[in-house]
Amino acid sequence: MSTVTDATSGTEFAGSISELNEIRSRDPQRIKRLLVVRRRRQLFGPDGKLMIIACDHPARGALSAGSRPTAMASRTELLDRLVTAVTRPGVDGLLATADIAEDLLMLGVLEEKLMFASMNRGGLQGSVFEMDDRNTGYDVRGTVDAGFEGAKMLLRIDLEDPSTVATLERCGQAITELNRAESIAMVEPFMSSRFDGKIVNDLSPDAVIKSVHIAQGLGASSAYTWMKLPVVHEMERVMDATTLPTLLLGGDPDSAPDETYAAWQAALALPSVRGLVVGRTMLYPADDDVAKAVDTAVSLVR
């Protein structure tokens, strides 16, 4: 079993993606050891902005990217793209489920990176129970024990679906526990509805504003609560709805990338916006140039 030893810390990382299965089979304890010795960093640099790569869609059964319905089906290809993305200059960290986070941890690319755990992946895409979005990923203890900066939760609110109240309750509990642990609770809210069996998020400014007010009122404290919001029209009005630090959710730049990037840039200029969280659009750009796509997003944040 080959390894690569970090010259500074003496930490042993996997030599390649092909080594991950061998490590998981013969030395699963290495994951815990790597979490203990992982080099940490301060939350913000001098500019007070963050650029985070996200990868938690596969755990909800969502494997598409752009026009490719099974783009994320190959884990080795996905990891290769993630390694490229996370190690680009100006990228601050990763948001992911445990399987992906731990693969990248073993590959040694999470040193001095921020880490956000993805919590509720139980609302599988296209399922009849999609709105009952249970915490099947990280829990609060796992987030804190791993030494991560915080955890993210999706909060889709369908006023006509009784399952929404259970999701609200579970998100509220997680937000309370994360705040007590002095860890960031990153909430991604949407007002959602079903059309022909498919859940559609309402991206009108008024709907996003409503979702923000519902989400920021959850939990017994909001000291460590952040928002993760889509870029929509009238972002000035949207951001006026909250005093919480906010990261922007990357849209889909494939259809009109110049317009999308211009919208991101304008929203990033708003005072309470702290950066971007982008995933499939950076990992699977139309031209397949991951480095170029990430560098463009970094240039907008910084």
- Residue 255: predicted pLDDT: 61
The answer on 31 and 124 residing in a single domain is: no
- The Cα–Cα gap between 276 and 83 comes to 18
Confidence (pLDDT) at 252: 59
Q: What pLDDT is stored for residue 7 in this prediction? A: 45
CA nearest neighbour of 267 among 298, 226, 238, 225: 238
C-alpha closest to that of 95 among 248, 223, 244, 206 = 248
**Predicted local distance difference test score (pLDDT) of residue 6:** 63
* Same domain as 90, residue 220: yes
User: In 3D, which of 125, 218, 211, 136 has the Cα closest to residue 179?
Assistant: 218
pTM of structure: 0.93
Same-domain status, 152 and 256: yes
CATH of the domain at 281: 3.20.20.70
Tell me the sheet residues that pair with 191. Answer: 157, 202
75-86 vs 98-106: helix crossing angle, rounded to 10: 70
In angstroms, what CA-CA distances link 83 with 8, 16, 34, 87, 180?
Answer: 21, 11, 17, 6, 33
Same domain, 28 and 114: no
Q: Are residues 129 and 270 in the same domain?
A: yes
Average pLDDT of adjacent 10-residue blocks, the chain of 302 residues: 59 92 96 96 95 96 90 96 98 98 98 97 92 94 97 97 94 98 98 92 98 98 98 97 96 70 93 95 92 96 92
Same domain, 171 and 269: yes
What pLDDT does 241 receive? Answer: 98
Q: What is the pLDDT of residue 221?
A: 98
Residue 7 and residue 140 share a domain: no
Q: What is the pLDDT of residue 268?
A: 96
> Quick one: 31 and 81 in the same domain?
no
Same domain, 150 and 292: yes
Q: Which residues face 15 on adjacent strands?
A: none
pLDDT value at position 257?
A: 77
Same domain, 122 and 205: yes
Total number of domains constituting the chain = 2
Asked whether the beta carbons of 224 and 185 are under 8 A apart, the reply is yes
Is 30 in the same domain as 164? no
Q: What residue numbers bound the domain in which 24 lies?
A: 1-37
- In the block, tokens 């990248």 appear at 104
pLDDT the model gives residue 256: 72
Select from 290, 300, 296 the least CA-distant residue to 86.
290
Residues 14 and 113 in one domain: no
